[in-house]
Chain A
Amino acid sequence: MATQVTTAGQVVSTEQFAYPKGIWSWLTTVDHKRIGVLYLFTSLTFFLIGGIEALLIRLQLASPNNSFVSADTYNQLFTMHGTTMIFLAVMPLSAAFFNLLVPLMIGARDVAFPRLNAFSYWVFLFGAILINLGWLHGSAPDAGWFAYANLTSSQYSAGQGVDYWVVGVQVLGLSSLASAFNFLVTIINMRAPGMTMMRMPVFIWMTLIVAVLIVMAFPALTVGVTLLMFDRWFDTLFFVPEANGQPLLWQHLFWVFGHPEVYILILPAMGIVSEVLPTFSKKPLFGYTAVVFAGVGIAALGFSVWAHHMFTVGMGPVPNSVFSIATMLIALPTGIKIFNWIGTMWGGDLKFSTPMLMSIGFVSMFIIGGLSGVMHASPPVDSQQQDSYFVVAHFHYVLFGGSIFGLFAGIYYWWPKFFGRLLNEGLGKAQFWLMLIGFNATFFPMHWLGVIGMPRRIYTYEEGLNWDFWNLFTTIGAFVIALAITVFLINAISSFRKEKGAPDDPWDGATLEWATSSPPAPYNFEKVPVVNSNIPLWVEKYPEVYGHEPDFRDMAAPPAEEQETVEHGIEDHHHDDHIHMPNASYWPLVVALGLLLGFAGFIFTFVLTFIGAAVLFVGVYGWALEPAFGEPDHIY
């Protein structure tokens, strides 16, 4: 049985590892599961804020010549809706799952750098607050989420709105980079004995790929934003055309980051779906190797297609052709994934719990987003669709129909592992159907609005263009989505009013996180498991189905003395009986605070920058000199 791992012979007393209580314990926590919970609540909060921004946008566009909000407010709303959903909702929601699941799924006690992990969260939170501070001044960022130069220059955006965006994005980039390095090292170095690369759960593979993407893509954004900072604060001329600066340089730097960013947003959801579909089909993932390498292929191609966002800037026929072909090629690995997901369901014994419904929603909606993507891979077609509502429809099919459905599948699937409580299935199904209907009512007509010539980012439109009906329809759809999200909130809140009591393995899962308690103890596993398969728990629970089957991924034969345990997915690992857990620490918070003050100085007064630098140095010093591991009775 799975519980064997946690209940087998007592080696050390584990009572000293109980979770501490109180706000201070959350401020100083370095536990990956608690940091995951912090990411989850923060990102859901910003998901709601971004959603409210979307509803205000839809209210303004519900009728022609509407004056619900002013042009300036509208421009701030769509800029912050995009920025919030990308950087403050979908990315950190994915990070919540990385944090909870990476150590659990690979059989580790924590991430490689627990304090760096805490640091990543605090920097993210402070960056998120910084970028939203503009609302208090009535001057939130208003140049679009990709902030095209030279509209962002101090000449054309003299107000402070763009400053908040520049500083906030810079800070958020630091958080993402620190986090990505952490998960790279964790996944490469800290897998349980026996877990070869090709035995990792697909979610871990997708996390690894996302980490590589972040490490390679974010520096381009950092460089671009730094140049913009210099243009705005120190009067350099990188993007100023009057001085032979190049506004197009910004577009290249931004999309070299921005296109891989799209895959940073979708691959975690693909990983989640690749875990959920097998569980509820009672069948291993079809074409594990193909799905993994398709993920690698998408990531690799993702760096060679950035200029398809720039087909209308006049690059010339040769670059347009090259980037067009490269873009079309991405359809191949994406298709492979979709076909293998359907192959996983094929011949299975399907059970339609909420995580499964959300995953099927993901697959069916993502197909539509993929097909419209192929349309604007063709530059002539793109010249009609670019910057129109057709593109708005396309990327919402990918990022909402894709990422958000996938992330909700993950929320329902792993909620018991986060909190020891199950979400209500009835409410979950209600949310799914409302969300599916609301989503399609909102975004499908946008294809048509784009085809009949409605550009994006317009705060109003005239009568007589025949856009009235579908805009109103779309606005109503947006409120159906809002209703679905309300159902989710009710579900989430009411789950906390019930006693804990979720089973350790409520869905009959195949991966290691279901081998420990719900929620797991701080040390995750009493004994580090040994893994002989990429579906270790199923091999253990159903030896008669999976145990004797030759595993084509089993490249190396196990050592002779372990031969008799091969048929079990997990066995006790006898070599490491001591549990080492990292100390709680407030230094990550101090260092993050130093960064916040330092960057805030660019907006308010440079005095703050110097104070921030001082705090930063003190923090780094304290961090460096602090012992990472203490005596067991000092833990937490």
Chain B
Amino acid sequence: MLRRVPVRLVLFALLTFMIPMILTACAGGVDNPQSTIDPAGAAADEIVDIYSLIWWLAVVVFVLVEGALIFAIFKFRNNKKLINGRPAPVHGNTRLEIIWTMIPAVILAVIAVPTIQGIATLAEQDDDAFQVRVIGNQFFWEFEYPDIVGADGAPLKVTDELHIPVDTRVQITLVSNDVIHSFWVPRLAGKTDAIPGRTNHMWLEAEDVGTYEGQCAEFCGTAHALMRFSVVADTQEDFDDWVATSQSTPSDPVEAGKQIVESVCATCHLVEGTSAQGNIGPELTNFANNDQIAGVLENNEENLRAWLHDPPAVKPGTAMPNLGLSETQIDALVAYLYTLDGSGAQ
């Protein structure tokens, strides 16, 4: 009875797993915006090539070894070839030991060569490429273009959406303002950590116009799961237009404040009627009518400035990190937040 059940069970289990997976795999990037095996650029291509090689070798080894195991289970379940009631006491076989050490060694060598080549390719640094500086923060990303001047004369800096020109090699420099984060856009490249006190490098390239989803991959605190971003690959023309728009910041501080809330604060806070839909921190829809800030300070402009400047200094242990806001940004936020009287979208 038991003799037949496991085979069917194993086959059934394999089919149950494999069919939907193969189907979803074939569907490709349409359904899987963060797929690592649906590359859209040279860096991700390089990785998929090595991954595919190891994957197919692994499948062969898997079938052979599991096959030998399953064969042994069925072949020797009622062994009739016994001497004195026991199977022949074989202690080992040196030739076999050598064979099953050498064959895996050869397979590993086959994997090692493209691996080393891949490491070298992915580590290349190109100073002539399009430069972007990526800055990790709890819990949002900032993207700075060292070669493009922003509205305030400093390099152009944006949050949440990294725009790049399509078919252009982008050299990325990674830093962090607080703890360790990891910059990951699976369809464009593998991840590289952003580490405080260090500068890391990576490159990527997008071969098609479009939006590529990304996410922080190193646990960085309470709202780590929400630290998402996108890379938008534009035609050179669209990219230039986007730069021109970004260089002109809104002159209205309330509008500027709203932009900051929707990009930075949105990770954790909710403001009805805006794109800020976070649920980690307190809701801010009715902020102007609140008696207190963070439950410890009287709600007035002076206290709000102190709080935004450095929350943990005001309330040690608070989940809200120091966001490193500039005075201009604080001005804008104060202006915007005191318009929030619960009446909804601004």
Residues of A within 8 A of B182 (CB): 312, 387
A158 to chain B, nearest CB (A): 4
Q: Considering the complex, which residues of chain B in the window 152-185 have a beta carbon less than 8 Å from any beta carbon of chain A?
A: 174, 178-180, 182, 184
A534 nearest in chain B by CB position: B91
B222 contacts A453, C-beta separation under 8 Å: no
B35 contacts A381, C-beta separation under 8 Å: no
Tell me whether A451 is interfacial, beta carbon within 8 Å.
yes
Known interface pairs A342-B72, A466-B31. Does A287 touch B216 (Cβ–Cβ under 8 Å)? no
24 A-B residue pairs with CB within 8 Å: A72-B222, A143-B219, A151-B219, A155-B312, A158-B316, A241-B197, A284-B89, A313-B193, A320-B119, A328-B108, A332-B108, A336-B97, A340-B92, A364-B69, A367-B65, A377-B111, A380-B50, A380-B190, A383-B47, A387-B182, A448-B24, A451-B36, A452-B36, A545-B83
B70 nearest in chain A by CB position: A364
Residues of A within 8 A of B294 (CB): none
Q: Considering the complex, which residues of chain B in the window 287-345 have a beta carbon less than 8 Å from any beta carbon of chain A?
A: 312, 316-319, 321
A349 contacts B82, C-beta separation under 8 Å: yes
The number of residues on chain B lying at the interface, defined by a beta carbon within 8 Å of a beta carbon of chain A, is 105
Q: Considering the complex, which residues of chain B in the window 1-59 have a beta carbon less than 8 Å from any beta carbon of chain A?
A: 2, 9, 13, 17, 20-21, 24-25, 31-37, 44, 46-47, 50-51, 54-55, 58
Residues of B within 8 A of A546 (CB): 89
Contact string, A374-398, partner B, CB cutoff 8 A, digits 1/0?
Answer: 1101111111111110000000000
Residues of B within 8 A of A450 (CB): 36
B191 contacts A383, C-beta separation under 8 Å: yes
Tell me whether B195 is interfacial, beta carbon within 8 Å.
yes
The number of residues on chain A lying at the interface, defined by a beta carbon within 8 Å of a beta carbon of chain B, is 106
Contact string, B127-149, partner A, CB cutoff 8 A, digits 1/0?
Answer: 00000000000100000000000
B217 contacts A386, C-beta separation under 8 Å: yes
User: With the chains together, A329 CA to B109 CA distance in Å?
Assistant: 10
Q: Which of A151, A290, A332 contacts B220 (CB 8 A)?
A: A151
Residues of B within 8 A of A24 (CB): none
A277 to chain B, nearest CB (A): 11
What 5 pairs between A and B have smallest CB-CB spacing? A383-B190, A453-B34, A241-B197, A458-B225, A158-B317
Q: Considering the complex, which residues of chain B in the window 81-99 have a beta carbon less than 8 Å from any beta carbon of chain A?
A: 81-93, 96-97
Known interface pairs A158-B317, A290-B92. Does A314 touch B51 (Cβ–Cβ under 8 Å)? no
Q: Considering the complex, which residues of chain A in the window 219-258 have a beta carbon less than 8 Å from any beta carbon of chain B?
A: 241-242, 244-248
Residues of A within 8 A of B33 (CB): 453, 464-466
Known interface pairs A283-B87, A339-B100. Does A71 touch B223 (Cβ–Cβ under 8 Å)? yes
B48 to chain A, nearest CB (A): 8
Query: Which B positions have Cβ atoms within 8 angstroms of A?
Result: 2, 9, 13, 17, 20-21, 24-25, 31-37, 44, 46-47, 50-51, 54-55, 58, 61-62, 65-66, 68-69, 72-73, 76-79, 81-93, 96-97, 100-101, 104-105, 108, 111-112, 115-116, 118-120, 122-123, 138, 174, 178-180, 182, 184, 186, 189-193, 195-198, 200-201, 213, 215-226, 228, 279-280, 312, 316-319, 321
A347 contacts B88, C-beta separation under 8 Å: yes
Residues of A within 8 A of B100 (CB): 335-336, 339
A200 to chain B, nearest CB (A): 16
Known interface pairs A156-B178, A246-B197, A328-B112. Does A317 touch B37 (Cβ–Cβ under 8 Å)? no
Contact string, A125-166, partner B, CB cutoff 8 A, digits 1/0?
Answer: 000000000000000000110001011000110110000000
B79 contacts A324, C-beta separation under 8 Å: no
A375 contacts B198, C-beta separation under 8 Å: no
A440 contacts B112, C-beta separation under 8 Å: no
A453 contacts B87, C-beta separation under 8 Å: no
Give 13 new A-B contacts, CB below 8 A, not counting A144-B219, A345-B69, A383-B47. A143-B219, A150-B179, A241-B197, A342-B72, A372-B58, A380-B47, A380-B119, A383-B190, A384-B44, A437-B13, A451-B36, A452-B32, A455-B215
B21 contacts A317, C-beta separation under 8 Å: no
User: With the chains together, A469 CA to B13 CA distance in Å?
Assistant: 17
Q: Which of B2, B83, B84, B119 contacts A379 (CB 8 A)?
A: B119
User: With the chains together, A377 CA to B108 CA distance in Å?
Assistant: 10
B111 contacts A378, C-beta separation under 8 Å: yes
Tell me whether A7 is interfacial, beta carbon within 8 Å.
no
Q: Considering the complex, which residues of chain A in the window 466-487 have a beta carbon less than 8 Å from any beta carbon of chain B?
A: 466, 469
Residues of A within 8 A of B217 (CB): 386-388, 455
B54 contacts A281, C-beta separation under 8 Å: no
Known interface pairs A72-B222, A375-B51, A457-B219. Does A384 touch B36 (Cβ–Cβ under 8 Å)? yes
Q: Which of A150, A346, A379, A461 contacts B72 (CB 8 A)?
A: A346
Tell me whether A489 is interfacial, beta carbon within 8 Å.
no
Known interface pairs A71-B280, A374-B58. Does A445 touch B17 (Cβ–Cβ under 8 Å)? yes
Residues of A within 8 A of B97 (CB): 287, 290, 336, 340
B66 contacts A367, C-beta separation under 8 Å: yes
B62 contacts A368, C-beta separation under 8 Å: yes
B218 nearest in chain A by CB position: A387
Residues of B within 8 A of A247 (CB): 179-180, 195-197
Query: Which A positions have Cβ atoms within 8 angstroms of B?
Result: 67, 71-72, 75, 143-144, 148, 150-151, 155-156, 158-159, 241-242, 244-248, 281-284, 286-290, 312-314, 316-317, 320-321, 324-325, 328-329, 331-332, 335-336, 338-340, 342-343, 345-350, 352, 360, 363-364, 367-368, 371-372, 374-375, 377-388, 433, 437, 440, 444-445, 448, 450-462, 464-466, 469, 542, 544-546, 549, 552
Residues of A within 8 A of B47 (CB): 380-381, 383-384
Known interface pairs A313-B193, A388-B217. Does A332 touch B86 (Cβ–Cβ under 8 Å)? no
A375 contacts B196, C-beta separation under 8 Å: no
A349 contacts B68, C-beta separation under 8 Å: no
A552 contacts B91, C-beta separation under 8 Å: yes
B122 contacts A380, C-beta separation under 8 Å: yes
User: With the chains together, A245 CA to B195 CA distance in Å?
Assistant: 12
B79 contacts A349, C-beta separation under 8 Å: yes
A385 nearest in chain B by CB position: B36
B316 nearest in chain A by CB position: A158
A458 contacts B224, C-beta separation under 8 Å: yes
User: With the chains together, A369 CA to B17 CA distance in Å?
Assistant: 17
Residues of A within 8 A of B280 (CB): 71
A156 nearest in chain B by CB position: B179
Residues of A within 8 A of B50 (CB): 378, 380-381
Residues of A within 8 A of B92 (CB): 286-290, 340, 343
B225 contacts A459, C-beta separation under 8 Å: yes
Q: Which of B17, B101, B108, B317 contacts A336 (CB 8 A)?
A: B101
Residues of B within 8 A of A451 (CB): 35-37
Known interface pairs A445-B17, A453-B32. Does A158 touch B312 (Cβ–Cβ under 8 Å)? yes
A447 to chain B, nearest CB (A): 9
Residues of A within 8 A of B218 (CB): 148, 387
A48 to chain B, nearest CB (A): 26
Known interface pairs A335-B104, A367-B66. Does A455 touch B184 (Cβ–Cβ under 8 Å)? yes
B196 contacts A347, C-beta separation under 8 Å: no
A375 contacts B221, C-beta separation under 8 Å: no
User: With the chains together, A377 CA to B280 CA distance in Å?
Assistant: 36
User: With the chains together, A115 CA to B276 CA distance in Å?
Assistant: 61
User: With the chains together, A375 CA to B114 CA distance in Å?
Assistant: 13
Residues of A within 8 A of B112 (CB): 324-325, 328
Known interface pairs A383-B191, A461-B225. Does A452 touch B180 (Cβ–Cβ under 8 Å)? no
B178 contacts A331, C-beta separation under 8 Å: no
- Among A143, A242, A350, find the residue whose CB has the most chain B CB atoms closer than 10 A: A350
User: With the chains together, A244 CA to B196 CA distance in Å?
Assistant: 10
Residues of B within 8 A of A375 (CB): 51, 54-55, 58
B116 contacts A321, C-beta separation under 8 Å: yes
A346 nearest in chain B by CB position: B72
A363 contacts B222, C-beta separation under 8 Å: no
User: With the chains together, A469 CA to B321 CA distance in Å?
Assistant: 34
B200 contacts A332, C-beta separation under 8 Å: no
A347 contacts B87, C-beta separation under 8 Å: yes
Residues of B within 8 A of A312 (CB): 182, 190-193
Residues of B within 8 A of A242 (CB): 196-197
